Amino acid sequence: MASRLSDGVYVRDTVQITPKLMVVGPFGVGKTTLIGAVSEIEPLRTEELMTQNGAATDDLSGVPDKRSTTVALDFGRLTLADDLVLYLFGTPGQQRFTHIWEDLSRGAYGALVLADSRYLDQSFEALSLVEKSALPYIVALNAFPDTPDYPEAELREALDLDPGTPLVTCDARDRQSAKTALVTLVKHLYAGHQESS
Ligand SMILES: Nc1nc2c(ncn2[C@@H]2O[C@H](COP(=O)(O)OP(=O)(O)OP(=O)(O)O)[C@@H](O)[C@H]2O)c(=O)[nH]1
Ligand SMILES: [Mg+2]
């Protein structure tokens, strides 16, 4: 059994809570990277190479080395405690895939909205999708090397965040940092659940 656990085939038999969580955000913000960094199973990826045909719509200014894009979903799994396993679903970031969101997010419990503070306006669409679907969420700013250090109050105002919505910074490539952002989301969901029960 131990070896199957490490294969990622089984979860521990103490697991009781398995929320489906969405990782959303604009094109190239780091959703696939974050799920790959934290997943304890081989993450499912649906990456396709980007071609010259997409040059007009795929804005690579923040991620000049990016070569592929998610066309359906990312999927990963993270055990946070003996009784708690997260199932992570990443969405495609390109606007032409927005219709996939409704199907993918069915049954989700909450969302991590990844944002890039160099291009905050690009996050508005993802924020409005989670708000429309009434999913509780937090915002995690994925820090890139040239990300300016804006005061939190300015970032909150620019994103029009409710005072109760957590705003954190993470490095989507770093397992511990990405995990900390997910823990913040889970605590936020738990606090909301406590309030409503
Ligand atoms: N410097 C830096 N680069 C990052 C970071 N996160 C992601 N990248 C790079 O930025 C690019 C975008 O990452 P992806 O994970 O593909 O982004 P995505 O949000 O899944 O993109 P789409 O699925 O196309 O919307 C990749 O080339 C990553 O290596 C980060 O935290 N810092
Ligand atoms: Mg992706």
pLDDT of residue 32: 97
CA angle 164, 123, 79 (to 5 degrees): 65
| The two structure tokens encoding residue 147 | 């990300």
Interval 8-37 mean pLDDT = 94
> Which listed ligand is nearest to 36 at the C-alpha?
1
pLDDT of residue 6: 62
Between CA 107 and CA 87 the distance in angstroms is 11
Whether 18 shows a pLDDT value over 60: the answer reads yes
Residue with more model confidence, 102 or 76: 76
Ligand 2 centroid from CA 31, angstroms: 5
Our answer on whether the CB atom of 30 is closer than 6 Å to any ligand 1 atom is yes
DSSP-assigned states of every residue in the chain: -HHHHHHTS---TT--B--EEEEE-STTSSHHHHHHHH-SSPPB--EEE--GGGTTT---SS-TT--EEESS-EEEEEEEETTEEEEEEEPP-SGGGHHHHHHHTTT--EEEEEE-GGGGGGGHHHHHHHHHTT--EEEEEE--TT-----HHHHHHHHT--TTS-EEEE-TT-HHHHHHHHHHHHHHHHHHHHHH-
- pLDDT bin (cut points 50, 70, 90) of residue 5 is low
Q: What ligand 1 atom has the least distance to the C-alpha of 58? A: 24
Asked if pLDDT for residue 140 goes beyond 90, the answer is: yes
- Per-residue model confidence (pLDDT) at position 7: 67
What's the pLDDT score for residue 95? 76
Gap from CA of 125 to ligand 1 centroid (Å): 18
Secondary structure letter of residue 56 according to DSSP? T
**Ligand 1 in contact with 178 (CB < 6 A)?**
no
In the predicted structure, residue 1 carries a pLDDT above the cut 60: no
The ligand with the least distance to the CA atom of 59 is: 1
Mean pLDDT in residue range 135-153: 94
Q: Is the pTM of this model over 0.85?
A: yes
- Please report the pLDDT score of residue 52 as a whole number: 79
Higher local confidence (pLDDT), 63 or 108:
108
| Contact (Cβ atoms closer than 8 angstroms) between residue 143 and residue 47 | no
pLDDT class of 128 with cuts at 50, 70, 90 = very high
What pLDDT sits at residue 10? 83
Confidence of residue 61 (pLDDT cuts 50, 70, 90): confident
Distance 11 CA to ligand 1 centre (A): 29
101 lines ligand 1 (CB under 6 A): no
DSSP 96: G
Residue from 48, 45, 107 nearest 76 by CA: 45
Q: Please, what is the average pLDDT of the chain? A: 92
Q: Is the CB of 92 under 6 A from ligand 1?
A: yes
pLDDT for 96 equals 74
The band of 11, judged by pLDDT with boundaries at 50, 70 and 90, is confident
Ligand nearest to the Cα of 24, by number: 1
Handedness of CA 37, 84, 7, 45 (dihedral sign): negative
Tokens at 148, concatenated: 């300016």
Q: What would the mean pLDDT of 48-71 be, rounded to a whole number?
A: 85
